Structure 1
């Protein structure tokens, strides 16, 4: 499988929360880079295209790049990036 990302992602297993319009959904971060992440969710239905991903390191503003079954690929869009 050919890699198309501009920066490699590292594998992680972190609990996080998808936060939007006063709602929140638990998720698991499966891999992470400076620019994006792969999230496991119970169901992608009802999750908007733009939301905040709340992790231990603080919130990240995200835009959904793709959705497949119970996984979502996101790109970080805010000024705050992973450190």
Structure 2
């Protein structure tokens, strides 16, 4: 399997929130992260909008992102 990421990801275990424009949000766990994206665990990744904001309050981190793949309870996102 070839590596397609442009930046190396770092393993983490942090609580995050996927914030939506209409005021809603979904809790998630951030499992790895890089300058270009992240792998998240969410209860139901198949009902997410086309774009949202990943918020990690403990790090004061906010990034606009879009889903690029999903499988079971995992989702890969790319930062805009």
TM-score, scaled to structure 2: 0.89
Q: How far off its partner does 1:17 sit? A: 0.2
Question: Going by fraction, where is helix more abundant, 1 or 2?
Answer: 2
Q: Which residue of structure 2 aligns with residue 9 of structure 1? A: 9
Q: Gapped runs of 5+ residues in structure 2?
A: none
2:46–2:70: 8 Å Cα contact kept in structure 1?
Answer: no
Q: Gapped runs of 5+ residues in structure 1?
A: 78-83
Task: Look up the SS of the partner of 1:39 in the other structure.
Answer: strand
What is the CA–CA distance in structure 1 between the aligned matches of 2:8 and 2:61, rounded to whole Å?
Answer: 21
What is the CA–CA distance in structure 1 between the aligned matches of 2:45 and 2:16, rounded to whole Å?
Answer: 15
Task: Look up the SS of the partner of 2:46 in the other structure.
Answer: coil
What is the CA–CA distance in structure 2 between the aligned matches of 1:7 and 1:43, rounded to whole Å?
Answer: 27
Q: Which residue of structure 1 aligns with residue 73 of structure 2? A: 70
Q: For this pair of structures, how many residues does the alignment match?
A: 77
1:58 pairs with 2:61: yes
Q: How far off its partner does 1:38 sit? A: 0.3
Q: Which residue of structure 1 aligns with residue 29 of structure 2? A: 28
Runs of 4+ in 1 over 2 A off after TM superposition: none
What is the CA–CA distance in structure 2 between the aligned matches of 1:59 and 1:32, rounded to whole Å?
Answer: 13
